[in-house]
Copies of this chain bind each other. A is one copy, B any other.
């Protein structure tokens, strides 16, 4: 089968790989209908050391079950399913708590002999625990929004939930990438009254306004913080959807004492400012990698009835063979989020 493989920074190739087959009896093989490029894929695209053995890419996909292992009871060939961005057994202590990202038996696509999502097919371990069956046809117009449940929408929702967003709240979302925009959508869905979006790409912040942002702050750094404070007087709840130190610094500058910062962007730093300053201000640091699997069924009805349309973050579709172009376009910020059709 054809699949996208990264060999180093800026070096994504589409090549032939062995067709996946059932290895464990809990596996399923899914033929991919749609996948996409994640903002987090851009970090290795910017910095991965060149390697002889490439890394199969992609962790967001939906598709049709082609074959199910002997122990798979909830799925059968022909089912349309969406995959959360990590696989999980859905039965261990962490999964039972709703923390599927920490599943004792879970893992990541593209590692440990498991295919990436940016390819024609994927062997999915713990298929019953991982995949969620979708009650639509494979040509449904809802597919982009359903694909968003794989990561960006469930991640944005994780930010809003862990930040404690509720009715009437004022919320700051730092970052106008696809996750930031989905965080706006999630905060709006949970009843936030005022949502300030910090971002400077007009096409993206315009979509943010459609998703519920009431204010957009394009300025960065101290000027941006001053503007947010001028607009709001400071905010109790911040969703940081970038992962850089400047984004965290914006969050820290805008948050009120006693407030909460939920981080959704994978930190591009190893240490951060959690010394006496943060301590004296009683700032809470929460968030992290989303347990996407825990949220899919919860958000699914709102996608099916059109209440939320997170699929709008996909602003360009590429064929699988053009995956390298998709990476380049996202890295150059020509494209917000690239959908890939095998």
- Which residues does A use to contact B, with CB under 8 Å? 94, 97, 99, 101-102, 162, 257-258, 263, 266-267, 269-276, 278-289, 291
Task: Name the residue of chain B whose CB is nearest to the CB of A243.
Answer: B279
Known A-B contacts: A94-B257, A270-B276. Give 8 more (CB < 8 A): A99-B258, A101-B257, A102-B281, A267-B274, A269-B274, A270-B275, A274-B285, A284-B284
Q: Which of B257, B263, B270, B275 contacts A267 (CB 8 A)?
A: B275
Give A162 Cβ to nearest chain B Cβ, in Å: 8
Residue of B whose beta carbon sits closest to that of A94: B257
Q: Note all chain B residues with C-beta closer than 8 A to A257.
A: 94, 99, 101-102
B276 contacts A287, C-beta separation under 8 Å: no
Q: Is B271 a contact of A279 with CB atoms below 8 Å? A: no
Tell me the smallest distance from the CB of A95 to a CB of chain B, in Å: 11
* Chain B contacts for A286, CB-based, 8 A: 284-286
**Given A267-B274, A267-B275, A271-B274, CB of A99 within 8 Å of CB of B289:** no
- The residues of B that contact A258 with a CB separation of less than 8 Å are 94, 97, 99, 102
Q: Which residues of B are found within 8 Å of A273, using beta-carbon distances?
A: 270-271
Given A257-B102, A258-B94, A258-B99: A271 in contact with B275 (beta carbons within 8 A)? yes
* Residue contact A276 to B266, C-beta cutoff 8 Å: yes
Task: Name the residue of chain B whose CB is nearest to the CB of A273.
Answer: B271
- Nearest-neighbour CB distance to chain B for A52, whole angstroms, equals 25
Question: A99 to chain B: which residues have CB within 8 Å?
Answer: 257-258, 282
A267 and B276 form a contact (CB under 8 A): yes
- Chosen A-B contacts, 13 in total, with CB atoms closer than 8 Å, are A94-B257, A97-B258, A99-B282, A101-B282, A266-B276, A266-B279, A269-B275, A270-B273, A279-B287, A280-B288, A282-B289, A284-B285, A284-B286
Bound state CA distance, A323 and B263, in angstroms?
A: 46
B275 A282 Cβ-Cβ under 8 A: no
Chain B nearest CB: distance from A288 CB in Å? Answer: 4
A281 to B106, CA, bound (A): 13
Q: Is the CB of A279 within 8 A of B288?
A: yes
Contact yes or no, A281 B271, CB < 8 A: no
Least CB distance from A29 to B in Å reads 27
Report Cα–Cα, A271/B162, bound state, in Å: 23
